[in-house]
Structure 1
């Protein structure tokens, strides 16, 4: 089968547990696979190279562009279309087939594609309670990650925050990227503890928060302004999206996301007291 005319960019740091599976899922299907690594202290780079990926070292200078935009600017620039995968993500077979259909007639007219995420939590695929769509595939000549005023914020560092790249036009694909982290669940809480620092900082910087809201999906923009987020998050995931059908994993995930939203609110209140 003809390889897809795109480069897969995989930003990593200490993804030795997951990276072999991620590289193997795409190495035979696309023109190039590039792992962009931030000085991993485990065997991420060695494993990725052994599976056929190019490995590029990345060092953040504390400014914009951050890591994903750097990838758009520097990773195999002769290939316009870039698919971003996290180190623990793999495209489903259905998605690869859909991509072949999309590119069969030449470069797509739209500038980007939003792709649903098949999310795994505590070892189980969530079929109901998690509904995230990522703008993961884009024409680098027409898309760019926003540069928001969050360089002084804690929690994100070199990575762009929870917002989408900007595109003049976008379409949505049907088949998912599978997000299955093989690391223990404690790493999920460690990451989201950092993310909540960033989110809490945004609560005290409304101008930056609004910039980021504008770079989210429609669903994300609505939720970004909603009150009572911990309770709303649980009700949305567990009741409205029927997360209860995912069994114990659905309950655990809904509680974990509610706890994450509670963390943000608590940290924001603490920051306000510090300023008062």
Structure 2
């Protein structure tokens, strides 16, 4: 009933747990982007089908899976290697799929962010939604910041309220900080270039509302501190102990990186030589 697509690169630590959690599926695909560790061997040992494609973005990689993998089932669940399907999440998926008419193209899914064995419900502003479960042929993906969102949807998207687990810190803080330094550059570029109407921050659909909120809040002076204050105090993150404090501090730092990189990009565009270079490029393209 449900095919699984897992994106990987050097995921030997997390992949076994992820694959164990989807052992019930008869069609598990691992789309690797050049692992140099035991990721591919682990996938083979678990009976997964292996494909490879160089990684350029999450949206591109998921679309490659839709276009090139021989997916057997009507429904597709996209996972990252540090995510785990619980028995409750699986049961909810099956129930919703069985009760969905043909007008349903897919589902937004949410996760429990786990740190030191604790669910960061308040610090991570649960629930956050991503388009992860889809009916084959009814949607695609487009890049947004360092991630992706749904695109070209043919039908209705519903919400799957039972969460899966996300172990985003499983490789340690060095890896998380290194990865989010790269993500902050991608987010800064996307937020600096995007122009979304202010009214979208009041949209009912979180897929429309959240990108607008990110864009407009990033422009507020002191936003990184406000991000910490909102999550740790207003959202009761302090009740989640040391893991909650560490998470809120690092998310505020992540927003700080995005903000200073956005300013750097704006300053760069104001330089005369940058303007001349862009103008020259436009003229050359037209000629």
Whole-angstrom CA distance in 2 between matches of 1:274 and 1:127:
39
TM-score (structure 2 length as normaliser): 0.80
Matches within 5 A, 1:210-249: 216-226=207-217, 227-228=219-220, 229-249=223-243
Q: Work out the CA distance in 2 between the residues paired with 1:31 and 1:217.
A: 34
Alpha-carbon distance between aligned partners in 2 of 1:123 and 1:193, rounded to the nearest angstrom: 24
Aligned to 1:162: 147
**2:184 matches 1:196:** yes
| More displaced stretch, 42-51 vs 166-175 | 166-175
User: Structure 1 residues 105, 196: closer, same or farther in 2, change over 3 A?
Assistant: closer
Contact 2:129–2:207 (CA<8 Å) still a contact in 1?
no
User: 1:251: which partner in 2?
Assistant: 245
CA distance in 1, matches of 2:148, 2:143: 11
Q: 2:9 aligns with which of 13, 16, 31?
A: 13
- Bigger Rg, which one: 2
Contact 1:9 1:75 in 2 (8 A): no
Aligned length: 256
1:142 to 123, 138, 142: 138
Q: Is the CA contact 1:117–1:134 (under 8 Å) kept in the aligned structure 2?
A: no
Q: SS at 1:191's partner residue? A: helix
The CA deviation at 1:93 is 1.5
Q: Distance in 2 between matches of 1:266 and 1:114?
A: 31
Match of residue 54 from structure 1:
49
Asked if 1:268 corresponds to 2:262, the answer is yes
Q: Over residues 134-171 of structure 1, what are the superposed CA-to-partner deviations in whole Å (9 max), with x where a residue is unaligned?
A: 211011311111367xxxxxxx8xxxx33321334211
Please tell me whether the aligned partners of residues 109 and 129 of structure 2 are also in contact (alpha carbons under 8 angstroms): yes
Shift of 1:9: 0.2
Quote the RMSD (CA, aligned, Å): 2.6
2:159 aligns to what? 172
SS at match of 1:40: coil
Q: Contact (CA 8 Å) 1:9, 1:71: kept in 2 or not? A: yes
- The residue that corresponds to 1:41 in the other structure is 36
Structure 2: give runs of 5+ residues left out of the alignment: 272-287
The alpha carbon displacement at 1:106 in A equals: 6.9
TM-score normalized by the length of structure 1: 0.83
Q: Which has the higher helix share?
A: 2
How far apart are residue 269 of structure 1 and its match? Answer: 1.9
Would you say the 8 A contact 1:124–1:249 is kept in 2? yes
Tell me the CA shift for residue 74 of structure 1.
1.9
For residue 57 of structure 1, report the CA deviation from its aligned partner.
1.3
Return the offset for 1:255.
1.1
Match of 1:24 among 6, 20, 26: 20
Unaligned runs of 5+ in 1: 149-155
Q: CA 1:82–1:107 in 2, change beyond 3 Å: closer, same or farther?
A: farther
**How far apart in 2 are the matches of 1:129 and 1:140?**
34
Q: What secondary structure is seen at the aligned counterpart in 2 of 1:85?
A: strand
The one of the two structures with greater contact order (alpha-carbon pairs below 8 A, sep at least 6) is: 1
Counterpart of 1:151? Answer: none
1:148-196 residue CA offsets vs partner (Å, 9 max, x unmatched): 7xxxxxxx8xxxx333213342111121110014211221111110011
